[in-house]
Each structure stands twice: as C-alpha cells, then as structure tokens.
Amino acid sequence: MKKLQRYTGLVGLILMAAFLVPYIMKLPQLDITVILLGGLALAAYDYFSSGNDDNSS
C-alpha cells in the first residue's frame, strides 16, 4: 500500500507543478512568482520528506 501512496503523491505533485508552471512563467511580478515557487517547493519537500517517517509501522 505504501507504493501506491508514493505513486499517487508523485502524480499529485506533477499535476500541481503542471498547474502552476504556466503562471510562474507568465507572471511579470517577482513577488507573486516567488510565492508560487515557494508553495511548489513546500509541496515537493513534503513529498520527499514523507518517506522518512516510515518507522512507525
């Protein structure tokens, strides 16, 4: 079941990136671009760090 969760998390991360990349590329304002990149970075960090807490099973 953990593999399925990893794959669905990766699909979600890819879909989020696919949704945000056009906005990041076309926005002329740097502050909003930094906020969007920060949100994407937090989602990527959560995805990659979620595999480290498997010790509880």
Provide the whole-model pTM. 0.74
In the structure, what pLDDT confidence band is assigned to residue 53 with cuts at 50, 70 and 90? low
Domain boundaries, the chain: 2-49
- pLDDT of 56 strictly over 90: no
Range of lowest pLDDT (1-10, 15-24, 46-55)? 46-55
Short-list 35, 32, 39, CA closest to 17: 39
What per-residue confidence (pLDDT) applies to 1?
Answer: 64
Give mean pLDDT, residues 13-38: 92
Distances 8 to 2, 5, 14, 32 between C-alpha atoms, Å: 10, 5, 10, 28
